[in-house]
Amino acid sequence: MTALLKKEMRLSASILSYLFLAFALMTLLPGYPILCGVFFITLGIFQSFQSAREANDIVYSALLPVAKRDVVKGKFLFSAFIELTGFLMMAALTLVRMTLLADSPLYRGNALMNANPFFLGTALLIFGLFNLIFVGGFFKTAYKFARPFVTYIAACFLCIGAAEALHHFPGLEALNAFGFEHPALQLALLLGGAAAYILLTFCAYRMACARFEKIDL
């Protein structure tokens, strides 16, 4: 699997997949829906799928002495690598906001989502949705990706809109906690997001493998 991941990173990946990791820095933006950074990171992954399709990468990979499910696994490993790298960057920046910048007027006066464990859990949920809807959907044909990506965009921004709105409802203010307020709730939300990411990615992988086995390349 290490060889397949290296092949994806060095041969199939678009440089935009790596450059778009910089959108993790949106975590520091006040007065902005910071979950949009997650969308842009997945947009970078989409660019790799697009460039790989134009280079006929799937057929090339299938001709290698590996099982068809290993071709799928390589794409999922690459996607997860980019996602988790972006997540770690966002987590580090969230920690900065929760400690050094916890009392900054820029963030205290911000009506939008705060950077906290709930934000990180929601980011993982969106990454999981990308894997399920787009990556899993791509392997239905291993060629067409417009419909699954448009579907993912709709799901992504619905999720962002819901996450931004929830803390404005009475009784849900703790979702937008500053610093280390409401630690038990925040940790539970982060763990819930991590569990959703693992479950959605695993289901997407199993579905993609089953679909790709049926395709006659």
For residue 53, give every residue at least 6 positions away whose Cβ sits within 8 Å of its Cβ, in sequence order, or none: 143, 145
Structural domain count, the chain:
1
Distance CA 75, CA 43 (A): 15
Q: Given this model, what pLDDT does residue 156 score?
A: 98
19 close to 47: Cβ distance less than 8 angstroms: no
Q: What is the pLDDT of residues 61-91, one digit of tens each?
A: 777 778 889 899 999 999 999 999 999 999 9
Q: What is the pTM of this model?
A: 0.95
Residues of the domain holding 6: 2-213
Percent of the chain scoring above 70 in pLDDT: 99
Decide if pLDDT at 160 tops 70. yes
